[in-house]
Structure 1
Amino acid sequence: MTVETADSRDPGAHPGEIAGKSGTTFYWPMLLLPKPKRNAMFAIYAFCRQVDDIVDEPGSIDEKRAALAAWREQIRSLYLGGAPTGPVAVALADAIARYHLPRGELEAVIDGMAMDLGTPLRAPSLDTFKVYCRRVAGAVGLLVIRVFDRAEPDTEAFALAVGDALQMTNILRDLEEDARIGRLYLPRELLIRAGITATDPAEVLRHPGLAKVCDTLADMAEARFAEADRLLADWPRRRLWAARAMMMLYRRTLTRLRARGWRDIGQRPRLTKSEKAWITFRCLLGQPPAR
């Protein structure tokens, strides 16, 4: 899983510091939350960063498996009343207690990261792709919805829809970066429909059929954004304002990816700090801007 760059490997780093230095699109929506919610969101974000870095950074497979296993044990211990180790685990323990975060979703995030261990994911089947998105993004959505609001069928469906849309946008944004480390998350069925039988990332990115694949995946992401919109329609505009801001920021990224096209994929569209802040404040006030 590719996420925005941050050095979260320092075991003494605090969650707020990790989020602040990351350049994450989500920083402003997290920052403007009330302090308990802000701290919980920083904890969840820092946990995801740390387990992601375990897989992405240099090291042997055995070392990485051991590090993920250590996080599994830390999660298990937190739910049994054990003492947390390090600032991220301390903050996560507080978030678990305060917002009743489900253990299974934290473990699902680790399971998703583990899918990139050993042989990198390359043109996974659509079923495997959906499992991956559910673990690395849907699980996060089901955690943060408890911080933002509460867990009920509609809010959980919203969280899963947004998670899918954000992860698909990430994949489209990071095609070249992922290819450099041997990964290709584009589903095999979409490649075959576009006449691409290769699974080597560099070869796929050079193929003239790439644009068709990316357009199809962008359509899938947009459909999940539309589903999230449908669920939001009946709620007050300030309800889930932070999630709404996160969704709007990523939807703009998807729009700009499509406008840029799929030839010069090394040019990643970026939102300015002022744009991120403006969208976030508008959502906080219950006046979200037009897409």
Structure 2
Amino acid sequence: MEKKQRQADFHYCERIIKKHSKSFYYTFSQLPCEKANAVYAIYAFCRTADECADGKHSSQKKIKLLSQLKKELDLFNNQEELDKPLWRALRHVFNTYDMDIRPFYDQLTGQSMDLTFTPPNTMNDLEKYSYYVAGSVGLMLLPVIASKSSEDLRLAVTNLGVAMQITNVLRDIGEDYHQKNRIYLPKEVLTYFQYSQSDLHNSLINDNFINLWEKLAARAELLYNKFLLSIELLDPDSQLPVCLSAHIYRGILDAVRNNGYQCLTTRNYVTKENMVQINTEVNNIFDLREGDALTVEK
């Protein structure tokens, strides 16, 4: 009975990631079952937090929902969690892996920053915010994907999370502005490239916009590269799926480029066909690496 309940709880979490992030589901479903389930539970928590702050509710309702989620996390931290699928699934994850509760609280801090949104002044401001909403997720996942590593990979997985969040910002510029009245592009970058709020309001794509977009994209790509330098320090069974996740998410940047930088009126994404292509390319890299290792052994 307990096993059936656990399977049902993780299936609940799996449905959430499958519905809301096809790219993450595509990659992390390739992990061994127990690790995949752990990722699904972590994602379900983050998605719940995101919906508290970004759902179609009044500001007061959002504050109340986020406060309630924090109280539930407090109960979980005190071993007194509510009898709900999410918390039952997370308890199993915490019992299985050497988890740290701090990044879960950091995630709630990040969502709170959206409730009292202030446009970032500098790249440092953007990256600080990106840590709370996405770098924290890397730290949540770390005990699952690097359970046997003796290296300190906290900076590496934080880099990946920040890179993914900057990618989100670059993908969602128009949506964030027109639907949420938010500008995540740092003021110093907008000023430097002489791109005004009026230009953004008019969905103007010119050389100034492309140059500022590429400025942020270069930072994201540097952080992706820094993370990928550490990929071989992850658990062997986690290296390929996590590497694939990084490459597919990075592919969003190329999707925007290939669409003429039209991210002000259009939502860009990596197509299923491109996911399969990236999957093949990454698998080939791993096959070559394993082949080299075999050659050395001989």
Shorter-normalised TM-score: what interval? Answer: 0.7 to 0.9
- Root-mean-square deviation (CA, aligned residues, Å) is 2.8
What is aligned with 1:111? 109
Distance 1:34 1:53 in 2: 28
Per-residue CA deviations over 1:32-80 (Å, capped at 9, x if unaligned) read 2222211110111111111111111122222211211111121121121
C-alpha deviation, 1:260, in angstroms:
2.7
Per-residue CA deviations over 1:182-229 (Å, capped at 9, x if unaligned) read 01111111111112354x794384374322211100111111112123
Contact residue 124 and residue 185 of structure 1 kept, 8 A: no
1:149 is the counterpart of 2:134? no
TM-score, scaled relative to structure 2: 0.81
What is aligned with 1:226? 225
What is aligned with 1:45? 43
Unaligned runs of 5+ in 2: 1-10, 290-298
C-alpha deviation, 1:269, in angstroms:
3.3
C-alpha deviation, 1:235, in angstroms:
7.4
Query: Are the structure 2 counterparts of residues 57 and 142 from structure 1 closer, same or farther at C-alpha, using a change threshold of 3 Å?
Result: same
1:134 is the counterpart of 2:131? yes
C-alpha deviation, 1:127, in angstroms:
2.9
Letter paired with 2:105: E
| Displaced runs of 4 or more, over 6 A | 233-237
TM-score, scaled relative to structure 1: 0.83
Letter paired with 1:89: W
Q: Secondary structure at the match of 2:60?
A: helix
Contact residue 112 and residue 136 of structure 1 kept, 8 A: yes
Q: Secondary structure at the match of 2:201?
A: helix
Distance 1:76 1:284 in 2: 41
What is aligned with 1:9? none
Larger radius of gyration: 2
**Aligned partner of 1:161 among 150, 159, 162:** 159
**Aligned partner of 2:18 among 16, 20, 28:** 20
**Aligned partner of 1:92 among 84, 90, 96:** 90
Per-residue CA deviations over 1:114-149 (Å, capped at 9, x if unaligned) read 11104x343443332121111111100011121111
Distance 2:191 2:254 in 1: 25
What is aligned with 1:8? none
Letter paired with 1:230: L
Query: Are the structure 2 counterparts of residues 140 and 264 from structure 1 closer, same or farther at C-alpha, using a change threshold of 3 Å?
Result: closer
Per-residue CA deviations over 1:220-252 (Å, capped at 9, x if unaligned) read 111111212333367797652221010010122
Distance 1:66 1:26 in 2: 29
1:122 is the counterpart of 2:111? no
Letter paired with 1:28: Y
C-alpha deviation, 1:277, in angstroms:
4.9
Query: Are the structure 2 counterparts of residues 171 and 102 from structure 1 closer, same or farther at C-alpha, using a change threshold of 3 Å?
Result: same
Letter paired with 1:143: M
Per-residue CA deviations over 1:148-177 (Å, capped at 9, x if unaligned) read 113655422220121111111111111111
Q: Secondary structure at the match of 1:276?
A: helix
Unaligned runs of 5+ in 1: 1-12
Contact residue 211 and residue 262 of structure 1 kept, 8 A: yes
Q: More deviation in 86-95 or 267-276? A: 267-276
1:185 is the counterpart of 2:184? yes
Contact residue 242 and residue 284 of structure 1 kept, 8 A: no
Distance 1:189 1:288 in 2: 43
C-alpha deviation, 1:266, in angstroms:
2.8
